[in-house]
Amino acid sequence: MAITQYTEENIRSLDWKEHIRMRPGMYIGKLGDGSSADDGIYILLKETIDNSIDEFVMGAGKTIEVSIQGDKVTVRDYGRGIPLGKVVDVVSKMNTGGKYDTRAFKKSVGLNGVGTKAVNALSTFFRVESNRDGKSKSAEFTLGELVDEEMLEETSRRRGTKITFTPDPSIFKHYKYRNEYVERMLRNYVYLNPGLTIMFNGEKFHSENGLKDLLEDNNNREDMLYPIIHLKGDDIEVAITHSKTQYSEEYHSFVNGQHTTQGGTHQAAFREAVVKTLREYYGKNYDASDIRKSIISAISIKVMEPVFESQTKTKLGSTDMGGDLPTVRTYVNDFIGKQLDNYLHKNPDTAEKIQRKIVQAEKERKELSGIRKLARERAKKASLHNKKLRDCRIHLDNMKNDRRLETTLFITEGDSASGSITKSRDVNTQAVFSLRGKPLNSYGMSKKIVYENEEFNLLQAALNIEESMEDLRYNNIVIATDADVDGMHIRLLLITFFLQFFPELIKENHLYILQTPLFRVRNRKETIYCYSEEEKRAAIAKLSGKPEITRFKGLGEISPDEFKHFIGDDIRLEPVMLDKAMSIEELLKFYMGKNTPNRQEFIIENLKVEVDLVEENQL
């Protein structure tokens, strides 16, 4: 066996921008094309805005302007402005920034001195401008390299910092900013910073009531069991209500303004504190799952120099609040124990409604206990003895959770489609769940059906979402069906299942539709896959002569060798999003209720498939 040479020539040192560009995932998580809310292009935007938020928190600048025009992003704040002598350094020298000095930024998110450096290195164009003390300083970069630096000049512009950047398309392939994700990020910023105004492409985002506004804006008020409980302390804010119809738990958690989508020590402490407080208030040892069933809540805390479990800061690892304060667990428990208890004593109507909800949940749990036990046994046996779930190595080998954001579950129908995806997937991060025929229409049914129906029971077990979303095993859940009438029907039935029983999966942007090419256009030298008629026409025009055109009628017709292109780096996903104008019940009624003419007209006008009226009537 030949031995590879290992000499001084094999050792090399990377400068800051080379390292970021070679290992972008270390700095901004997964890359993606913008179809997921946690894709890298949104992290670039977040890292830029975070600096402006810190200025607002420190009392400088009440307005932030954000503009996204195509691939060009601009963020302008009216804070103090970067010290003019350090404008170049703070965006191009690692571990350089003002947040190491806790006197200036006591409870900041960006403590690593990395944020804008990563944005700079991963952008084909990056410009920073600081206006301060009647003077201005700016610099321009390409892929982290300084290409132009303007000397100090007099200015009448308002103080503050302006950053403009264009993400590098060689790293963020086929990327596109989705306004829905950007707007959600900006709304969270204003909920967490009452009094702050953010202007996005001319639209105003503002909140006066913090997390109370968050729950009201994200949920149908008619579905709330009681008025939102809104409690605030020096370094903590919570908002709590229960849903009348939702089954599982829903949490929105934040640390120093950072949306901790994976929770962490503060969210775990909050869940524990709510259970403890309500048990003590009612003097009954209610089961924790009954107390938390249908809860919709938000918690925000401020921690001195927080420790997150990754650079993208989606999960808090800190156990201490910092300074002279106690542990996170103790601090949250003490606050909830006192403030929630006081609120319930002052609002007995709310207390009574919560107790009735707990008792109802207890009754339903006991009625389902036998069914759930059998369902768990069936799921366990099925996972051992059949191939319905082909898991990924991250879970099979109990690998560390640092790649959880990359995990994907493809839900497929049919042996051929399942086989193609299984053979071409990334076995480390991608799993496949195979449906047997069309799933049941669960509209209007109780959760009992989730345990009695084998497909739903095994799918729930595969996702690990019976109790809450906190232990969700896959970050991305992708419905992979044919782009025909049957495929569309399966999509609707699966979306109905998630809306009916696990709506937070959709609210938290975990559910997607896999986009696969409709056509393959090729000649002897080149092959182009087309996702629309427009792309097909462009491909035909590009390839000389008479290219061969293949129409893919189903996923099973695409070979594994070809399929690996469509579920790899160039994967195209269409996120399933809720329409804020309609409640979940209204959505379900529209799509699955008895309003066939209206639904038929909508589907014909909106679905990107060629269906005739006869086929459509079969839905």
- Ranges of each domain in the chain: 16-206, 211-364, 386-516+552-617
Beta strands 229-232 and 236-242 are antiparallel
Phi, psi of 58 (to 5 degrees): -85, 5
pLDDT score recorded for residue 270: 95
Task: Return the ∠ at Cα 196 (arms to 192 and 197), rounded to 5°.
Answer: 125
Q: Is 331 exposed, middle or buried (0-12, 13-18, 19+ CB in 10 A)?
A: buried
Helices 265-282 and 328-346: crossing angle in degrees, nearest 10, is: 40
Share of the chain above pLDDT 90, in %: 37
Q: For 386-516+552-617, CATH number? A: 3.40.50.670
Q: How far apart are CA 470 and CA 147, in angstroms?
A: 46
Q: Which fold has domain 16-206?
A: Heat Shock Protein 90 (3.30.565)
Cβ atoms of 329 and 265 closer than 8 Å: yes
Lowest mean pLDDT among 217-226, 336-345, 353-362, 390-399: 390-399
Residue 70 region, left (φ>0) first, then alpha (ψ -120 to 50), else beta? Answer: left
Tokens found for residue 408: 């994907």
For residue 375, pLDDT over 90 is answered with no
For residue 457, pLDDT over 80 is answered with yes
Q: Which of 519, 505, 517, 481 is nearest to 577 (CA)?
A: 505
For residue 289, pLDDT over 50 is answered with yes
For residue 74, pLDDT over 50 is answered with yes
pLDDT score recorded for residue 517: 86
Cβ atoms of 321 and 334 closer than 8 Å: no
Cβ atoms of 211 and 219 closer than 8 Å: no
CA-based end-to-end distance of the chain: 63
Q: How far apart are CA 183 and CA 137, in angstroms?
A: 30
Residue 512 region, left (φ>0) first, then alpha (ψ -120 to 50), else beta? Answer: beta
pLDDT tens digit sequence for 420-451: 888 889 898 899 998 888 888 888 888 888 88
Task: Return the ∠ at Cα 283 (arms to 277 and 285), rounded to 5°.
Answer: 80
pLDDT tens digit sequence for 293-310: 999 999 999 888 777 776
pLDDT score recorded for residue 281: 96
The helix/strand/coil state of 555 is: helix
For residue 41, pLDDT over 80 is answered with yes
Lowest mean pLDDT among 113-122, 223-232, 290-299, 357-366: 113-122
The helix/strand/coil state of 477 is: strand
Distances (CA, A) of 372 to 37, 363, 366: 33, 14, 10
| Of residues 381 and 229, more confidently modeled | 229
β-partners of residue 243 are: 224
Helices 40-57 and 179-192: crossing angle in degrees, nearest 10, is: 20
pLDDT score recorded for residue 596: 56
Q: How far apart are CA 316 and CA 517, in angstroms?
A: 40
pLDDT score recorded for residue 524: 86
Q: Which of 414, 413, 592 is nearest to 492 (CA)?
A: 592
| DSSP label at residue 198 | E
Tokens found for residue 112: 């690593």
Query: What would the mean pLDDT of 177-184 be, rounded to a whole number?
Result: 92
pLDDT tens digit sequence for 124-175: 999 999 999 899 999 999 999 999 999 888 888 999 999 999 999 999 988 9
Lowest mean pLDDT among 92-106, 508-522, 571-585: 92-106
Phi, psi of 57 (to 5 degrees): -60, -35
For residue 578, pLDDT over 80 is answered with no
Q: How far apart are CA 404 and CA 387, in angstroms?
A: 22
pLDDT score recorded for residue 311: 57
Q: Which fold has domain 211-364?
A: Ribosomal Protein S5; domain 2 (3.30.230)
pLDDT score recorded for residue 111: 42
CA-based torsion, 84, 86, 90, 93: positive or negative: positive
Share of the chain above pLDDT 70, in %: 84
Which residues 6+ apart lie within 8 Å of 212 measured at CB? 228, 230, 239
Q: For the whole model, what pTM was predicted?
A: 0.82
CA-based torsion, 576, 610, 410, 468: positive or negative: positive
For residue 469, pLDDT over 90 is answered with no
The helix/strand/coil state of 538 is: helix
Q: How far apart are CA 492 and CA 261, in angstroms?
A: 27
Phi, psi of 498 (to 5 degrees): -70, -40
| Of residues 395 and 538, more confidently modeled | 538
Q: How far apart are CA 52 and CA 17, in angstroms?
A: 23
Query: What would the mean pLDDT of 203-226 be, rounded to a whole number?
Result: 91
Residue bearing tokens 């992708």? 478
pLDDT tens digit sequence for 81-110: 999 988 898 898 775 555 545 544 556 655
pLDDT score recorded for residue 161: 95
Mean residue pLDDT of the chain comes to 83
